Structure 1
Amino acid sequence: MEEPVMDVAHLGHVELLTPRFEASRRFFTEVMGMVESGQQGDSVFLRGWDDYETYSLQLTAAATSGLGHAGWRTRSPAALARRVAALRADGVTATEHACSFGHGKAFRFRDPDGHLVELYYDTQWYQPPEALRPALRNQAQRYPARGVNVRRLDHYNCLAVDVRGCREFYERNLGLRCTERIEFDDGTEMGMWLTATNKSYDVAFAREGNGVAGRLHHIAFALDSREAILQAADTFLEASVPIENGPHKHAIQQTFFLYVYEPGGNRIELAHSGARLILAPDWKTITWTEAERNRGQAWGLKLTDAFRTHATPPLAGEG
């Protein structure tokens, strides 16, 4: 058995593109309850109340919606150097990116489906201003008590023309582990869930049926309980934010979920995975069959048709 690669510590942040910047900004601060920690150029940087880094969401004004990039923090400067060397040895162009807001130098590259990814180590831990200083020393900031009150960034989900190729790329170059996957009867890999930690997943991929590379399905934020997600549904109701799907329970990964769209058109998930952790160092990937996948959710209503077809940036003719 090969020694596992543990160089990637966790998903640090995602950059979300929006053509309705101010409306998206209000959504994440007033409805989601996130806190702004800075602004630079066309971007504003936001955080959940228990994110230890300065931010977990970079919201950037753009002509369309979608994923700008995803940032992963490594476990050390040496780990960063090892992953960059591995990428380059695999024929991947990894370009040094100057210090960004909230963290030091990074190396950016594209995965096989064209999604932009960066690796970094040096980061700025969040230092709350007096008004946001928590009562407890082991909490990043004061609980905002505003809107949904998202705790932290949880994961992101992309579409890929070749799901298997993306899975093998992340396993080979970043050392991520596949906890669950879907394989149809014809051998096509339709979905996969990867983790860098003991969480059940940090990133997921589903098959892109239109042959268009580089699209985003959703980003997800964690809440503390199922009840918090039910309360979030009431918050969305009062804020006139339509709920696309949920609250229901996924069979895969057993996530209790709720999906909405932010004003820029990107799908947002609120997720609660309970106490489910992947503690086994020799975890055996769960592979779901086509028949099992077609049964739908663990319980709850059937997902909307748009859930399987809509992603960002939208295709021509889509809203």
Structure 2
Amino acid sequence: MYNMRDSNVTFVNPLYFTLLGVPGLESVQHWIGIPFFIMILLALVGNCTILFVIWRDPSLHQPMYLLLAILAIIDLSIFLVLFPKTLAILWFNVRDIEFNACLTQMFFVHALAAFEAGILVAMALDRYVAICRPLRYTAILTPQVLLGIAIIAIMRAVILSSFCPILIKLRLKSFHSTVVAHSYCEHMAVVKLAVGDIRVNKFYGLAAILSVCWCDISFISTSYILIFRAVLRLPGKETRIKAVNTCSAHITIIALSYSLGLFSFLAHRYGHHVAPYVHILLSNIYLLVPPVANPIVYGVKTKEIRIRVITMLSLQRQKSKS
């Protein structure tokens, strides 16, 4: 059993950290890895299918589907950064990670999560323009505008996320333990191991999360208030239902992503009486579920994607029979 805190030992500029995986469930971690692996496979197949369908069909090279393709790329990137190491911990007990590699993983996990949040905001803008300004849809959301939105989302994610590892590298030199009670290098899980004043690190981490959430939720809420106002003015019940249905996939993903993120955040910050393994599992579910759910939700609720996936599967069956 790893010693989580040894007051008699201080590690100065450690070269390695040790990731525990799921503290308290070490004896069954290999079983936990099985549903993780299944979800990873589902996410890989689903997101690769979405990317393939959009890439192959020129009629889908529209803002809504291009943003969906970016979302799929982000989800695949999160898995590449995060879960090979997580599965190595759960299945093969490979727990050590180099200090700089830990900070690099921390940056990419948080940056990709922030980038995905930015794309969800862009999707809300896309739905607003499609419903409230349908005649100017292609004129407003040009490829140049989409590229600009993507660049802004990337810059925001990089700037906000880079200070977390930078502040650790510059300010925190000594640690009372090198054992991280997590399955990946989560910011606060590493910061809490430091000796000395960690208030700046904690404040910045909280401020970055709250600023992203507040800005994004405010923009998305405003967009949908305007969308629903426009929908209520449309003539005919069927027309209104059709307009709402075009937003249903996006609303589902937003509700899923932000509810999981908020629940994980609140449990981590204020759930002091909650078992540590609950925090860890929630953090992983927050990163696991949206990449699995995104292609499923958009595949089911988006007619164009659904038809093309069914057509592709039918052609594959015909080829296999012949």
Query: TM-score band, normalised by the shorter chain?
Result: under 0.3
Higher-Rg member (1/2) = 2
The structure in which a higher percent of residues are strand is 1
Relative contact order higher in (CA < 8 Å, ≥ 6 apart): 2
Choose between structure 1 and 2: higher helix proportion.
2
Normalized against structure 1, the TM-score is what? 0.26
